[in-house]
Amino acid sequence: MPDKFDLDLESIQEARNLAVACREAQRVFASASQAEVDRICEAMTEAAYAEAESLARLANEETGYGVVAHKVIKNQFASRGVWNSIRNIPTVGMLRRDEANRIVEIAWPFGVIVALVPSTNPTSTVICKALGAVKARNGIVFSPHPAARKSSFQAARVMIEAGEKAGMPKGLIGSLSKLTLAGTQELMGHWAVSLILATGGPGMVKAAHSMGKPAIGVGPGNVPVYVDRSADIEYAARCIVNSKAFDCSVICSTEQSIVADKPIAGQLREALRSHGAYFLNPIEKAAVARALFLPDGSINARSVGKTPQAIAKMAGIEVPRWARILIADLDSVGKDEPLSREKLTTVLGFYVEDGWHSGCERCIQLLRFGGDGHSLGMHCRNEEVIMAFGLEKPAFRIIVNTWSSLGAVGATTALMPSFTLAPGGLGGTVVSDNITVTHLFNVKRLAYGTTEPPPEAFSLAPDVEAQPVMTVGSSLPPNGNLNVVNESELVEAVVRQVIAQWNKMS
């Protein structure tokens, strides 16, 4: 026997061990009271909030993505923000009693959840998903992105230590430390796993949906933001620049292209410049496009979550030190225009369209080119236009007059706080919500009888001689051919009668 196994074999065995341990712990935890569940979640929340800065620094150092101060905000939101949104949601025992319809609803956990974690939000995603899973009395095992293994594992460790100290069964939260594709696939397909939460690249999300298990996945967010002639232009510009610059655009709901209404396009340009937007000339635009995307159209991972100055250095150009984002003028959408794709970095496209109808069509083109079902932003004070966009756009989060990045995750809107934004059927998954605790448990229903079956339900067959119809509790028929004195004898008599009729027909 070898002293040391190959990494993929070690990863597979670790996945099996974690899944089984999680299942055993979850079976114990399934009997926890609501008070016990909430005490554990409260402890994990406060531990994660206290470590928000250290986790942010670790994520930034490990991946090179984004801004530490912004990652702190995301970690704080993923802990207290998410917990405050779900703390009063019942997840144990009876959820609701409908006296009028005589239905009782009862919570039932899924069991073991596998959660894929992206490198773009490696700590906030762990915090958010751990709270939702445990609040619903599930176990959860994380599979971090290899580029962010240390920071994701540390975030999980913070939640594990705080939870177990508060009474959580050992093994209820786990995380792969030996990361390979084989190990992640083994984990997703393991018999002990009941649900997969897939936040990551298209390949892993597709793999999650192919495992033959319930899966909730995300999709790419090629988010357009439409700025209407009725908008507060100064406010819109400030929102867009700040949102795009936030954590260097690694949140999937961040604006990717501006679609400006023609009458205000010039004014919007100047307002964007005043807030730190640098407009690229044609030569600079081509250089940036080459730096951001590989020849096959896939994003260059080295460009993700970078400042404008870092992008400029990669592209071999110079941009001002004051630049917070880079903007390129575009006039088409598709493979021939690389910058019309999703750009997980500080680069925006800029389109000009005359009127909201044309702006609407351009937004639809952008969504269909890699963002179907995800999110759309708009700045507008005309309610008719806002409603038209809401009715017609193929996006399930339409964010109005605020940052798209933080609005879609529920930080600057009243949407449910979450870092898992499902794109619905348009984007290839079963739901279109911000994924939260209510998606992580099933509901049993006790349904009492409220209506008697119609008389026709008691007939034996169309071609069988009609027999007297008797319901439970009724008196004997006049001919007395069913000689019964109680309900059990009635049932037996009916069964004998049915068998006799079948024998006649055979």
- As annotated, the active-site residues are 252
Distance CA 121, CA 379 (A): 27
Mode of pairing for the β-strands spanning 112-117 and 325-329: unpaired
Q: CA nearest 34: which of 75, 112, 95, 81?
A: 95
Please answer whether residues 34 and 208 qualify as being in contact, where contact means their C-beta atoms are separated by less than 8 angstroms.
Answer: no
Q: What is the arrangement of strands in the sheet containing 195-198, beginning at the earlier edge strand?
A: 173-175, 139-144, 112-117, 195-198, 215-217
Question: What are the start-end ranges of the E strands in 78-146?
Answer: 94-98, 103-109, 112-117, 139-144
Helices (H) and strands (E) in the chain, counts: 17, 15
Tokens standing for 505?
Answer: 């027909």
Helix (H, G, I), strand (E, B) or coil at 116: strand
Q: Residue 223: which of 97, 378, 434 has the closest Cα?
A: 378
**Can you tell me the distance from the alpha carbon of 338 to that of 289, in angstroms, rounded to the nearest whole number?**
6
Residue 268 tokens, joined: 């919007």
- The Cα–Cα gap between 397 and 269 comes to 26
* Residue spans of beta strands (DSSP E) within 270-360: 277-279, 325-329, 347-353
Residue (of 369, 354, 372, 399) closest to 255 by Cα position: 399
- Distances from the Cα of 358 to the Cαs of 148, 164, 238, 262, 367, in angstroms? 41, 56, 24, 10, 14
